[in-house]
Amino acid sequence: MHISKSEWLGVAVCFGALASMPNTVVKNSPVAMTTVKADTSYVENKSYGVDVSSFQSTDMSNYAQNGAKYAFVKTTEGTWYTNPKASGQVSSALANNMMTMSYHFAVFGNDAQKASAEANYAVNASRNVGVPAGSYVVCDWEAGDGNNINGPVEANTDAILSFMDTVNANGYKPMLYSGAYLMRNKIDTDRVVAKYPNSLWVASYATMGRIDEPDFEYFPSMNGVAIWQFTHNWRGLHVDGNINVLPLSKGGVSQAPSSVPATPSVDINQVIASASQSVAQKEQPAITSTTTDTNQDVPFTAVGRVNYVPGYGIMLWGQPGYKNALNRYLPHGSRWKIFKKRYINGSVYYNLGGSQWVDGKYIIIE
């Protein structure tokens, strides 16, 4: 989801849990170009939505015509950046019958005091651009722009809850967005959903190409998920695509259990149905002799090509496993010599020389 404060989209979202899966066939089905007449205060489950920043236009009509019933608009980052298009995007989303909410890119890391300050900044900006009271204001907690994701899990979670508490105290509904890998490894999501049930918005992609419809065999099963971001390029519109697995309302997620079974997935309104077992199997790939998690370097020489989104890039890391972001990006389609690799939690990371690593799921070996 993240666009940097200069609005250059390039941070690779952390989706480690699905890295070893093969790419799926993209479903590019015809789309009827009619605006969905959605209630702007309620969205039924299994509905599509988008999230936008200044990278996208202020005109949201095309998303609505393609079936989006809700929109998350980036309003802020840290305590210094406000999206100059936010007001126009909010107005257009509401005019197109889309339930309209906001998100804030966090840079507070594990600092609870800074988290509260950022939440106040986000809430004020959301009010100013017309996000209706009682709507979601989301904490987007991921790598990039100096956000430290490598603090202790409990401290990370304390800070995130501080943000969410401040949002709640100001009359908006808190939600947490992050990648599946970070939610499983860097955040105590059990604490989050215990306080704010069904408040998780998780990102995890089956492939980095265009996806029109989500394949629930790749759903990242975990407790408390309300929304799944399943693609970076929904229906060829170059916008993040999401599907809510629970009904959404301006006052929050509609009534549902405070805890959702992890396996089978979120069995709310039979969203996952019979696919849940294959989800569990795919999320825990068998470790073979070629993918042993030794956490040690394995000699490997090859040329790899970046396979991301045209016009964007992937983050270069100082250490494998999304550690020590170098704030440098390798553009889609560029080719690099690989010197070694390392397996961590079933995911492969490639070394490009020295302390320079990339996530292997974005690399095609030539």
Active site residues: 51, 142
User: Residue 46 class from Cβ within 10 Å (0-12 exposed, 13-18 middle, 19+ buried)?
Assistant: middle
- What's the CA gap between 190 and 197, in Å, rounded? 9
Phi, psi of 145 (to 5 degrees): 55, 30
| Long-range contacts at 78-85 (CB < 8 A, ≥ 24 apart) | 78/5, 78/105, 78/107, 78/118, 78/121, 78/145, 79/117, 79/118, 79/121, 80/5, 81/5, 82/125, 83/53, 83/54, 84/54, 85/53, 85/54, 85/56, 85/57, 85/58
- What's the CA gap between 292 and 284, in Å, rounded? 13
- What's the CA gap between 61 and 67, in Å, rounded? 10
Of 241, 190, 5, 226, which is closest to residue 104 (Cα–Cα)? 5
- What's the CA gap between 299 and 149, in Å, rounded? 28
Angle at 176 (CA atoms; ends 170, 182), nearest 5 degrees = 150
- What's the CA gap between 348 and 161, in Å, rounded? 31
Q: Are 76 and 105 in contact (CB under 8 A)?
A: yes
- What's the CA gap between 268 and 219, in Å, rounded? 13
Any bridge partners for residue 292, and if so which?
none
Any bridge partners for residue 47, and if so which?
244
Instruction: Assign 14 to helix, strand or coil.
Output: coil
> Across the chain, which distance is largest between two alpha carbons, in Å?
56
- What's the CA gap between 289 and 293, in Å, rounded? 9
Phi, psi of 220 (to 5 degrees): -80, 90
